[in-house]
Amino acid sequence: MIKLDELVEEHGVVGAQVAVLHNGEIVDMAAGVLNNVTGEKVTTDSIFQIGSITKIWTATLVQELVNEGLLDLDRPVRDVLPEFKLADEQAARIITPRQLLTHTAGFEGDLFHDTGNGDDMLEKYVERMADARQQVPPGELYTYCNSGFTLLGRIVEVLRGKPFRVVLRERLIERLGLRTAAASHAEYAAQTCATGHPGKEPKPADKLMAEGDTPAGTVLAMSARDLLEFVRMHLGTSEFDAMRELQVVPPDFGHGGKQGLGWALHDYADGVSGMGHTGSTLGFRAYLRVVPGAGLAIAVLTNGGEALPLVRAVYEQVLGDLADITLPGLPTPPMMPVPVDVERVVGVYRSTGLEAHITEGDGGRVTLRYVALDPDWKSFVDEDEHEFTGLRDDALIAVEEEDGYHAVVVLCGRDEQDRVKWLHWGRAAVRV
């Protein structure tokens, strides 16, 4: 039995829900508070933002279009959205929905444009993508791209002839009979809603993220139980099996993981495979793991504090007890660090909204500091300096653990001076 109250207390998590689907039955629980100022308790009916787990919902709506013959994943996006533009016209002309679903389109991925909350918010968002820079040629490298999923949302609404959130509600929320799911900020008022608590010393967030990025994950909120009702649908039909097929192998961050159509794919020992996703918004962290062969799924929703150690404790217990699966370990700094080729690594790398500054450190280490390029990014970027050492010839690992994890960055490509071209932590930042 999961002792969620104890885990919340032990790891300093503000509030949490856990739901487990096993052999068709869902069991859920809750602990902690919705807001650490008001002290209102979390219940199993409270709603939490699920962040980028929303991408699986968007991908599901896209797969329905494919199944109905309304969309070809390998034709250019412009077949559906002739107005789609990027700073690189050649890239915009050839990018496909499959590349959007697999994070291989290569353009700036974290364009959190505030385009209001009207029915035209995605149309306006796509218009504002016209200046988005191409960081990697289309199809060349996995680099996480929120903007690509917002573009997919626009494809959904054009082909369905309705606003995305209406399609989301009609085809998934209402179809599944979900009681708690909210597809817009306005719908939060009808629910008991958790507040996000960002920061190392969690305090209630004073704002919500822009609705214009809804298909990527800035809005959709629900209970852990309702999230697993959505998963139950995926496990109960072959309609969406194509979404689980391997598409891309991302850079190796030391914890496995491959990419399907929307789903992240996981491998366990003895040939067991599964899928899942994580989500992060302002003060919320959401986690989902599914093992179809065991008829098992686990959802953990949190609203502040060090969530990852709690989540791993839940995963380890549930996967072990119900499926005899051992959760793979996370990477740690090696006893004998791989030498860092400092001359090739040091420099400034730019991604959407931030820069990564790498300087030479002591004892063969380097120092990494992220710098927000926009005031709106201050809430998301830890600008403290962190020491990194060599994990592999092509990867660095943080010396100190944070939120239960030693961060890994991968060194990709070479420029004309034989220096590292891209610094990769899920997003590819290009040397400037």
**Does this model's pTM top 0.75?**
yes
Whether 294 and 261 map to the same domain: the answer is yes
**How large is the C-alpha radius of gyration of the chain?**
21
| Alpha-helical runs (H) found in 213-306 | 224-235
E strand map for 268-365: 273-281, 284-291, 296-302, 347-351, 354-360
Whether 361 and 311 map to the same domain: the answer is no
Residue 86 φ/ψ region, left for φ over 0, alpha for ψ in the -120 to 50 degree band, beta for the rest:
beta
Is 334 domain-assigned? no
Helix axis angle for 121-128 and 146-160, nearest 10°, is: 130
Q: For the domain that residue 377 is a member of, what is the CATH number?
A: 2.40.128
CA distance 288 to 18: 10
Q: Phi then psi for 233, rounded to 5 degrees?
A: -60, -45
CA distance 363 to 419: 21
CA distance 117 to 109: 21
Q: Which of 242, 93, 65, 276 is nearest to 158 (CA)?
A: 65
Among this protein's residues, is 52 annotated catalytic?
yes
pLDDT at residue number 45: 98
Residue with tokens 């959760």: 327
Q: For the domain that residue 249 is a member of, what is the CATH number?
A: 3.40.710.10
pLDDT at residue number 282: 94
Evaluate if residue 382 carries a pLDDT over 90.
Answer: no
Whether 348 and 324 map to the same domain: the answer is no
Whether 170 and 25 map to the same domain: the answer is yes
Percentage of residues in the chain with pLDDT exceeding 70?
100
Evaluate if residue 248 carries a pLDDT over 90.
Answer: yes
pLDDT at residue number 197: 97
Q: Which of 211, 288, 286 is nearest to 48 (CA)?
A: 286
The encoded tokens of residue 230 equal 């959505």
| Residue 187: count of CB within 10 angstroms of its CB | 18
Q: What is the DSSP string of 63-75?
A: HHHHHTTS--TTS
- Residue 255's identity, in one-letter code, is H
| Alpha-helical runs (H) found in 236-360 | 307-323, 342-345
Q: Which residues pair with 402 in a beta bridge?
A: 405
CA distance 137 to 94: 11
Report, as an integer, the average pLDDT of 32-53.
98
Report, as an integer, the average pLDDT of 380-396.
91
For residue 318, the enclosing domain spans: 1-329
CA distance 109 to 96: 15
Out of 46, 52, 147, 223, pick the active-site residue.
Answer: 52
Helix (H) or strand (E) holding 408: strand 408-414
Pairing of strands 408-414, 395-398: antiparallel
The encoded tokens of residue 389 equal 């050492």
Residue 260 φ/ψ region, left for φ over 0, alpha for ψ in the -120 to 50 degree band, beta for the rest:
beta
Question: 329, 359, 393: which is the final residue of a domain?
Answer: 329
Burial class (CB in 10 A: 0-12, 13-18, 19+), 209: buried
Q: Helix, strand, coil: what percent of the chain each, to 5?
A: 30, 25, 45
Classify each residue of 103-124 as buried b or exposed e, where b means 16 or more C-beta atoms within 10 Å of its C-beta.
Answer: bbbbbbbbbbbebeeeeebbbe
Evaluate if residue 378 carries a pLDDT over 80.
Answer: no
Asked whether 359 and 386 are in contact (CB, 8 A), the reply is no
Report, as an integer, the average pLDDT of 221-233.
98
Evaluate if residue 247 carries a pLDDT over 80.
Answer: yes
Q: Which of 288, 270, 275, 287 is nearest to 246 (CA)?
A: 275
Whether 291 and 409 map to the same domain: the answer is no
How do residues 106-123 score in pLDDT, each as one tens digit?
999 988 889 999 999 999
Report, as an integer, the average pLDDT of 373-385.
79
Q: Flag the least confident range among 65-69, 198-202, 276-280, 418-422.
A: 198-202
Whether 317 and 351 map to the same domain: the answer is no
How do residues 304-335 score in pLDDT, each as one tens digit?
999 999 999 999 999 999 999 999 999 999 99
pLDDT at residue number 1: 77
Question: 329, 355, 390: which is the final residue of a domain?
Answer: 329
Helix (H) or strand (E) holding 4: helix 4-11
Q: Is 355 helix (H, G, I), strand (E, B) or coil?
A: strand
pLDDT at residue number 281: 95
Whether 359 and 299 map to the same domain: the answer is no
Whether 96 and 122 map to the same domain: the answer is yes
Q: Which of 114, 125, 175 is nearest to 149 (CA)?
A: 125
| Residue 9: count of CB within 10 angstroms of its CB | 12
How do residues 46-68 score in pLDDT, each as one tens digit?
999 999 999 999 999 999 999 99
Whether 265 and 368 map to the same domain: the answer is no
Structurally, the chain folds into a number of domains equal to 2
pLDDT at residue number 402: 87
Evaluate if residue 369 carries a pLDDT over 80.
Answer: yes
Whether 201 and 268 map to the same domain: the answer is yes
E strand map for 23-143: 25-32, 48-49
Q: What is the DSSP string of 132-173?
A: --BSS-TTTS----HHHHHHHHHHHHHHHTS-HHHHHIIIII
Percentage of residues in the chain with pLDDT exceeding 90?
90
How do residues 132-164 score in pLDDT, each as one tens digit?
999 999 999 999 999 999 999 999 999 999 999
pLDDT at residue number 199: 86
Evaluate if residue 352 carries a pLDDT over 90.
Answer: no
pLDDT at residue number 69: 98
Is 337 domain-assigned? no
Is 134 domain-assigned? yes
Is 2 domain-assigned? yes
